Amino acid sequence: MRSLISRSLLLGVLAAGGTPLLAHHSFSMFDQAAPITIAGVVSSVEWTNPHVYIELDLTEPVKGAKHWSIELGSPSILQRGGWKFNTVKKGDKVSAVVSPLKNGDPGSLLTRITLPDGRVLGNGGPAGVGPGTTAPNAGAGASSTLGR
């Protein structure tokens, strides 16, 4: 029994590696297998920890709601992906591919956003890029690396 336990614990350790996959919380409350596109006017941007949030007044209601919240990575993770604190501003018309909350509430996790000038940003970037280093061009369809 003990060897079984130790083996299963070891497997857990190896699976986790030295780096936990998630930073602040699990993202399993979002349906990442069924992304949707929402579009509208930004009503507020909260450039805060542990997450950045964009509030969106939708042009057309989605799942019965005209206002959706979008959760992003942290400021640190986002600026690695080419974001600045003022990349998205109140009043901007944007569209975003998001993973909705599984419980049906009008909240979601960002996959990528299209800005008024046509730029497309993902939800973060690779480790180790920030002020004082060279920010990469996140480019279209930059994958979400939130929490990694």
Partner 1 sequence: MLAIAGAMAEAQSPAARNISGAWVPMGGGRGADPKVAPPPATPIVLKPEYAKAYEARRTAEAEAVKRGEPVATPAILCLPYGMPRMMTVASYPIEILQTAGQVTIITEAFSEVRRVYLDQPQLPIDEVPPGYYGRSVGRWDGDTFVIDTVGIKQSVLSYNMLPHSEQMRITERMRLVTPDVLHDQITIEDPVVLEKPFTYTLGFRRLPKYEMVEFVCENNREYVDEQGRVRMRTGGGQK
Residues lying near partner 1 in the complex (CB under 8 A) are found at 1-2, 5-10, 12-14, 16-26, 28-31, 43-44, 46, 48-51, 53, 55, 67-69, 71, 74-77, 79, 101-103, 105-107, 126-128, 130-133, 145, 147-148
By beta-carbon proximity to partner 1, the closer residue of 29 and 41 is: 29
Smallest distance, Å, CB 28 to partner 1?
Answer: 4
By beta-carbon proximity to partner 1, the closer residue of 118 and 132 is: 132
Smallest distance, Å, CB 118 to partner 1?
Answer: 27
Amino acid at 79: Q
Is the torsion defined by CA of 57, 61, 63, 64 positive or negative? positive
Question: In terms of Cα–Cα distance, which of 115, 111, 39 is closest to 71?
Answer: 111
Task: Produce one character per residue of 89-110: b if its CB has 16 or more CB atoms within 10 Å, e if not.
Answer: eeebebbbbbbbbeeeebbbbb
